């Protein structure tokens, strides 16, 4: 079972990052964190790595719903979306599958929240140009 929703995307890396952030915004997700893995590895490890950004996305009303049902679910928030350079030089975008992620919690009251987030992430990926 895959734990991500994935798409290959056409475009330049930085443009795809911006398009992903815009598509998340259309689905009412803000980006709380933006981790540039390539720059971090270069700075902290003096190591080269492919272009790779981790976007920590949060939809506050949905986060509140989830936290109201299960207080410790905050350990799984925010939901990560990654934009990365693939081995063959293309651009990939992957979003965590919230239904898989929240299945570890074993609280059926979270199922509607997970389904809602998954549908929104699917629409985000659909907004990005196909490779």
Domain of 35: which CATH number?
3.30.310.70
* Per-residue pLDDT tens digits for 58-99: 999 999 999 999 999 999 999 999 999 999 999 999 999 999
Among 86, 79, 85, residue whose Cα is nearest residue 62: 79
Query: Which element (helix H / strand E) includes 60?
Result: helix 60-69
Please tell me whether the overall predicted TM-score, pTM, comes out greater than 0.85 for this model. yes
Q: What are phi and psi of 129, to 5 degrees?
A: -70, 135
Domain of 56 in residue numbering reads as 4-127
For the chain, how many structural domains are there in total? 1
3-state SS, one letter per residue, for 84-131: EECCCCCEEEEEECHHHHHHCCCCHHHHHHHHHHHHHHHHHHHHCCEC
Q: What is the pLDDT of residue 131?
A: 86
* Per-residue pLDDT tens digits for 28-56: 999 999 999 999 999 999 999 999 999 99
**Residues 97-125, mean pLDDT to the nearest whole number:** 95
């Amino acid at each position: 079972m895959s734990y991500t929703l994935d798409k290959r995307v056409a475009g330049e890396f930085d443009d795809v990052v911006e398009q992903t952030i815009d598509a998340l915004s259309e689905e009412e997700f803000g980006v709380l964190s933006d981790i540039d893995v390539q720059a971090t590895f270069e700075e902290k490890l003096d190591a080269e790595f492919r272009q790779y950004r981790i976007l920590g996305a949060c939809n506050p009303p949905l986060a509140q719903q989830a936290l109201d049902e299960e207080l410790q679910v905050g350990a799984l928030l925010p939901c990560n979306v990654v934009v990365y350079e693939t081995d063959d030089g293309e651009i990939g975008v992957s979003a965590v599958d919230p239904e898989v992620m929240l299945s570890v919690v074993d609280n059926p009251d979270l199922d509607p929240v997970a389904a809602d987030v998954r549908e929104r992430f699917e629409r985000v990926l659909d907004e990005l140009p196909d490779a």
